[in-house]
Amino acid sequence: MSAQLARVGRALGFAGYFARLLVVANWEVVVDVLTPGSRLQPGIVALPLRCRTASEIALLSALITLTPGTLTIDVAEDLDVMYVHGMYAPDADAFRAELTDLETRMLHAVRLDRTQEADR
């Protein structure tokens, strides 16, 4: 029973994190649309994946695409790399780090066995 409670807690924690992420991303886009000029600095990054199942990859892809200003473009055939476009990504390494943080938090929330969270 406590393992189930822990899993629910991790899922709720991730939901709160993602809700905050959505608010911040929406605000960034609204400010850019309503102010003169544009802060767009688009970029595409290759994100090495730690997701191991098609479901994990699909969930991560959906989370990225739901976030305003980001879009999943493709996943490599070997399922090891995801290509992501960002509207506000002047620094590819910083953008990749944000995406890696999202993946880490998502994996922590959805995986049943916490020992599965280690990298491949």
Confidence (pLDDT) at 114: 55
Confidence (pLDDT) at 115: 52
Domain that includes residue 76, residue range: 2-117
- Identify the DSSP state of 37: S
Confidence (pLDDT) at 113: 65
Distance CA 92, CA 94 (A): 6
What angle, 0 to 180 degrees and rounded to 10, lies between the N-to-C axes of helices 2-34 and 92-110? 150
Q: Which residue has the tokens 């629910």?
A: 8
- Across the 120 residues of the chain, what is the mean pLDDT of every consecutive 10-residue run? 84 96 94 89 96 96 96 96 95 96 96 57
Q: Say how many domains are in the chain.
A: 1
pTM given for the model: 0.88
